[in-house]
Amino acid sequence: MQLFKLIYMKPGILLTKNNKNDNNTIGDVMVFDDFLQKMPKKFQCEIIGMDKYLKTLRPMKFKRVLDKNCNKITYVAPEYGISYMFKLDGGFKHNFQWYIVHNGKAETWHRKADYMEETLVKIAQSDQLLSVRIYNALKNCPGSNNCYGERCLARTPYSFNGKKRLTCHGSVEPGLDKNDFNDVREFFRYLNELINEKISNNVKPPEKIILCKTKRYI
């Protein structure tokens, strides 16, 4: 599960003004190209392609963060509270989610935003199959009440296309085929379009979604 502090991701590398630019965090451990060699060769081209693509998206402005233990590459869009990660965790995996900010007591834990349901609806307007694949890739809640505080603050319910799911952290865990990586790119393309539409309509993201005040059941 991904829990984030506002500026520093542990274990990870501090994003500072001393890095080359906002989208290419060089960090203190190793440069991206060297870090990439730690990932399975069969996925390196997908990682490079995704890295280039995510850095083109505006207004999302993804920042790349390299884990100091050399097992994670994370892309964070801090203004919109969403992250995407490649990781080595019992094998190679990737996932994305609206992350939790937890730099205080549990009653202050929050998300910056969560546009999952809105994005799925937008995708379904032109690509129903993609929206269903993304929805089906959501990670199911294992059912525990105490993973993150009482009634688990990481529980995230979603509704889509007449269905409801209780998910673990709202995390989407795609497969590892080429088409799965393309689905991720398409999801972020639609999300970026949705955000641009909100900006055009002067709709700002919520300041905070306080998790203890959210509905965490279906």
Instruction: Output DSSP code: residue 214.
Output: S
Mean pLDDT, rounded, of the chain: 84
Residue with tokens 């999302």: 60
pTM of the model: 0.84
**Would you kindly state where each structural domain of the chain is located, as residue ranges?**
3-213
Distance CA 32, CA 35 (A): 5
Least confident segment among 12-21, 35-44, 122-131? 12-21
pLDDT confidence of residue 4: 45
Rg (CA), the chain: 17
Tokens at 57, concatenated: 């998206």
pLDDT confidence of residue 17: 33
Q: Which of 101, 80, 97, 83 is closest to 167 using CA atoms?
A: 97
Least confident segment among 13-22, 42-51, 101-110, 156-165? 13-22
pLDDT (tens digit per residue) in 117-176: 999 999 999 999 999 999 999 999 887 666 766 678 888 999 999 999 999 888 999 999
